Homo-oligomer: A and B are copies of this chain.
């Protein structure tokens, strides 16, 4: 289950997708829309995506995880469109016979999403709006693309 959807994410469904008789440990990450960034107050967010490529990249992350942590099973769903404060933007579930692997693989997934999955966030604040990722100080990729692995 590696999906970009425009409707609310069913966290329980994503989690259940990775559970099985020999899982033992399941780690779920939910990234939600936060109201405050420093002192700046977010009203709502808009997420946009290059959907076919983003889906392929989520699947790639799933393959990276299966290779690096054998025996794990993962699922990732990212929501796009308008999201309100508290809404889940992304849900990542990883199951494993070993809890250390479930934590590590889950963390890997969110770092990789933030690094190379074509999804963009537009913040709508009380005093303006901005596409995130386009600010000064954003890391450029000298090779023209992100590395295969950090």
> Footprint of B on A, CB under 8 Å?
11-12, 15, 19-32, 34-36, 85-86, 97, 99, 102-103, 106-107, 110
Which of B21, B32, B99, B103 is the one whose CB lies under 8 Å from A26?
Answer: B32
A111 to chain B, nearest CB (A): 9
Task: Across the interface, name the chain B residue whose C-beta is closest to A36.
Answer: B22
Contact across chains for A23 and B19 when beta carbons are under 8 A apart: no
Cα(A11)–Cα(B99), bound, Å: 17
Task: Across the interface, name the chain B residue whose C-beta is closest to A97.
Answer: B34
Cα(A11)–Cα(B11), bound, Å: 10
A15 to chain B, nearest CB (A): 7
Query: Given the interface contacts A27-B29, A99-B29, A106-B103, does A35 sit within 8 Å of B22 by beta carbon?
Result: yes
